[in-house]
Amino acid sequence: MRSFISIFFLFLLFSCASGPINIPPEITVDKLIQLGQEASDKNRYDQALQYYQAVLDRFPTQIDSVCGAEYEIAFIHYKQKRYDIAQKELNVLLARYDEPDEELLPGEYKLLAHIVLEKIVADKE
């Protein structure tokens, strides 16, 4: 009986493991961001990454949302202690702010990216 219970709990554990999620094509950018945040808040980082990647893939011209999704992806990698990946992603985001249209970009992600980069340096020491 104990082995059955053990097998049952292992099955539950692996059935809850995150894989590709089905994102309806009609979903809005705001809903994708909301779902990404909800998944991230529940430490379902694989799901959150998929939602944020969908923002990048489906709404590449909505620059505010793109900057937000890029930041959130990098921040998830930071939380996962994948510092090298997060650092590269944050630097790519910050490179957007070196372009002539910087004033059109949301300033909060530039500030947040610098803060997380400082934390990465401190965490690596």
Enter the pTM of the model: 0.83
Q: What is the pLDDT of residues 64-114, one digit of tens each?
A: 999 999 999 999 999 999 999 999 999 999 999 999 988 999 999 999 999
Segments making up each domain of the chain, as ranges: 23-124
**What secondary structure, in 3-state letters, does the chain show?**
CHHHHHHHHHHHHHHCCCCCCCCCCCCCHHHHHHHHHHHHHCCCHHHHHHHHHHHHHHCCCCHHHHHHHHHHHHHHHHHCCCHHHHHHHHHHHHHHCCCCCHHHCCHHHHHHHHHHHHHHHHHHC
Question: Confidence band (pLDDT; 50, 70, 90) for 124?
Answer: confident
Superfamily classification of domain 23-124: Tetratricopeptide repeat domain (1.25.40.10)
